[in-house]
A and B are shown apart, each in its own frame.
Chain A
C-alpha cells in the first residue's frame, strides 16, 4: 500500500513546486494566542482515529482554550488534498507526515522547524527516527510511531512439516532450508513469499548482506554495491533458484500478505503494521521472529515511522506547538500504545504495545531497534523510488536480469540525487 502511495508522491512534488509556494514565514510565530483557538489536525488512518481523538480530548482538558478538530482523509487521497491545501495556504495546523515526503515539504518551507522551538526535546525517541525528520540540521517532525520488519511464520505449517520455529539466531541459510522443507506444491503451500517489496523485503536483505539502498549522506545510490546485489540475489533466489516462493505474477494476482493470512505461505517478512490483518484472519496460527542475519552474521531492518508536523502558515503557531509537544509526550504515547495499532515512538513505551496482543511475540519488532537503519530517503525521495520500483518489477517479472537492472537503478538514482 505504501508503495502505491509513493508513486503518487511524484505528482505531488510537481504541483507543490509548480505553484511556487515557497517563502512565507508564519505570520506571528512566538505570539501567544489569546482567547479560544481551534486547531485542525490532519490524519490519514481510520483505524487510528479513536486513539487520536482520545489524545485530542486529553489535550483539550489540559488546555481548555484549545480545541482540536481532527480531519481524516483516506491515505490514498491524503497527499492530493494536502498538496492542494498547502499550495493554497490552507493546510491543517498540525498534520501527519511520513519519511519519504518530509524532505519535499520541509524543502518547500511548508513546515515549521521544531528545533527552533523552546523546550524541544527529541531525546525520548529513537535516533534513527529523529534523523529521518532532520533536514540541514533542523528537525521538522515530532516522531509519532515507528515500524520495523519481522519474519512472520505460520506455526501450523511448521508443525506439520516438523520444522523448528524461526528464532533470533536464524541466518539466511536457515530460512532457505526451512523454506525448502515447508514448500509443498501438492497442497498449494509455499515455503516463503519473497516479493519485490522494498521496505518489507529488499531494503532489509541489502542491509543484511552489508550493502545499502542509499549512502548515509543521501548523496549516492547503493544499488551498484556488490554487497547490495547479494542481498537482492538472496531475495530473488527464492523464486528463480529454489522455487519456494510464488512468482511475481502470482503475488500480483494475490498479495503476499493475503497468501500468508490464508495459510498458503509458511514465512513472510512483513512490518508490524500488518499484525491486525493477521489477527483478524480466521484459522491463522502465526507468530513473528526477528529477521535473519546475513552471510557475515549482520542483522538489520529498516525503521520507518510517522511524525507530527506544524504547518508553516498556521495562524496559531504557539497553540500548534503546545499540541505537538503534547503529541510527543509520554502521556499521549501511552494512549497510542494501548490501542495496539502502532508502536509509539516514545522510548520505553513499547511494552504496553507488546502486551496489547499477547498471542504474538511482538517484542521481536522492538528487539531489532539496535540494528535498525533509517528508511532510505533523500530530499525528493519520490523522484527515484518510482523508477526504482518499475525496474524492480521488471527484474522480478524476469524481463531484466538482476545485475543489469541494479546498475540501471543505481544510474537513475544517482542522476536524480545529483539534481537535489
Chain B
C-alpha cells in the first residue's frame, strides 16, 4: 500500500484519552467521534486535517485505554497513515483490526516535521520525506498480521476463513 500526505505531528505518549476523550464515548458513530479527535491536546486538528494526511508521533502512541474509538476517530478524520516511534500494544492491534494503516519507524518519527509532505510505500518498507528528501526503511509486518491487513481487517479475515 502507498500513502502520500501532509504531516500533522505530535510527541511521545499520545494516549487514547486525548485522541478521543471519554466524555464522547457515549457514541460509536464514526463521524461524531472524528469531530472530537485530538481536541484535548490540539483543538485545531479537526479543522486543519485533510483527507489523506499522515499523522507522525513519537514513542508509545495510543497508550492507555483500549477504546477502539481512538483508531476509529483517527481514521474517520481522514488520516491515511500513522507513523510512530512505537505503538502501545492494544492500539497497535486495534488499528490493524479496523484497517487503519500504521507503521513503526523511530528515525522517521524523530526527523519528519509538521507540514512535511511524506510518501510511504509499506509493501517495500520505504518512507520518503518529499520535503527534506530523506528516506527511511521500515520493517515489514509479520506474515500473520499481513494476512489480516490483506483481508481488510480481523472480522473479514474470519469471514474469509483465514482462522
Do these two chains really belong together in a complex?
no
Residues of A within 8 A of B (CB): none
